[in-house]
Amino acid sequence: MDLGLAGKVALVTGGATGLGRTIAETLAAEGARVGVNYRTKPEAAAAVVAAIETAGGAAVALQADLTRDDQVRAMFDALAAAFGPPEVLVNNAAFCPTAPAAELPTDTFLATLDVNMGGTFRCCREFIGRLEAVGRAGRIVNISSQAALRGSRSGKCGYDASKAGIIGLTISLSRELAPRGFRVNCVAPGLMLTEMIADAVARDPAAFHGRVPMGRLGQTREIAEVVVFLASDRASYMTGATVDVSGGLGAH
């Protein structure tokens, strides 16, 4: 099935590990040329680029702290120099500190909002402005979480709040930009197996799998394929949507 992504330029924030890596590789497999953003893991980003190039695709690693306006601008400049301006933006980068609310420093709470929601906003603003300057439109896919809708019991109030804000930002931007040809959608994954939780899952699989109605954690590939669909021509009449990809977790 042709998704219409061949030759398009895509930027994936937080693309060096976990879900971001899988999204970057899935976009590349559809023929997109991919910018792989990272903040502190150059070796991981280089590995993603190497894997994409080995498979016959094109990618470039792009370092940027998404809380810095100047670094976001420089990242877009570097991607444009390598491949041209992006037509697809996937806002995946996230920060998730854990602490009880009564013990969470204000600075940590605000830093979480700034990385997750602020970083998403900065990248959207740069993406929109650059495309509109040349009379073009693009597709944005923001990554939220079931935590935005359900909360959590493990001291992640900053993360949960930021992910809820991303849903609100998606809706606002979709309504503002639809008349100008942009599509802005969101994905709300549930529990998924990544390297961050792999050890904990191995120690007590039932504690994780048992929380999901389908009886298992999601694979990053299963979320990435929904993201890529939303970025594709096949989702041409979708904007402002938040898509539940949670194995039924969101229905309970």
Q: What is the pLDDT of residues 60-75, one digit of tens each?
A: 999 999 999 999 999 9
% of the chain beyond a pLDDT of 90: 78
CA 54 to chain centroid, in Å, comes to 23
Residue range 69-93: mean pLDDT, rounded: 97
Residue range 199-206: mean pLDDT, rounded: 70
Residue range 52-62: mean pLDDT, rounded: 98
Say what angle helices 106-113 and 157-177 make with each other, to 10 degrees.
Answer: 30
pLDDT at 216: 77
pLDDT at 55: 98
Domains identified in the chain and CATH numbers = 9-243 (3.40.50.720)
Nearest CA to 131 among 171, 71, 69, 76? 76
Residue range 120-149: mean pLDDT, rounded: 96
pLDDT at 19 over 70: yes
Pairing state between β 9-12 and 88-91: parallel
Q: Which of 83, 109, 127, 159 is catalytic?
A: 159
Least confidently predicted of 58-62, 93-97, 121-125: 93-97
Choose between 83 and 190: higher pLDDT.
83
Nearest CA to 140 among 239, 225, 37? 239
pLDDT at 252 over 60: no
Cβ-based burial of 137 (10 A; exposed 0-12, middle 13-18, buried ≥19): middle
Q: Name the token pair of 199.
A: 């050890």
Using 50, 70 and 90 to split pLDDT, how confident is the model at 191?
confident
pLDDT at 37 over 90: yes
Cross-strand partners of 33: 9, 58
Residue range 142-169: mean pLDDT, rounded: 91
pLDDT at 201 over 70: no
Pairing state between β 192-193 and 88-91: unpaired
Using 50, 70 and 90 to split pLDDT, how confident is the model at 207?
low
pLDDT at 194: 72
pLDDT at 182: 98
pLDDT at 198 over 70: no
pLDDT at 150: 86
237 is catalytic: no
pLDDT at 153: 77
Using 50, 70 and 90 to split pLDDT, how confident is the model at 211?
confident
Using 50, 70 and 90 to split pLDDT, how confident is the model at 196?
low
Q: What is the DSSP secondary-structure string of the chain?
A: ---S-TT-EEEETTTTSHHHHHHHHHHHHTT-EEEEEESS-HHHHHHHHHHHHHTT-EEEEEE--TT-HHHHHHHHHHHHHHT-S-SEEEE---------GGG--HHHHHHHHIIIIIHHHHHHHHHHHHHHHTT---EEEEE--THHHH--SSS-HHHHHHHHHHHHHHHHHHHHHGGGT-EEEEEEE-SEE-TTTHHHHHH-HHHHHTTSTTSSPEEHHHHHHHHHHHHSGGGTT--S-EEEESTTGGG-
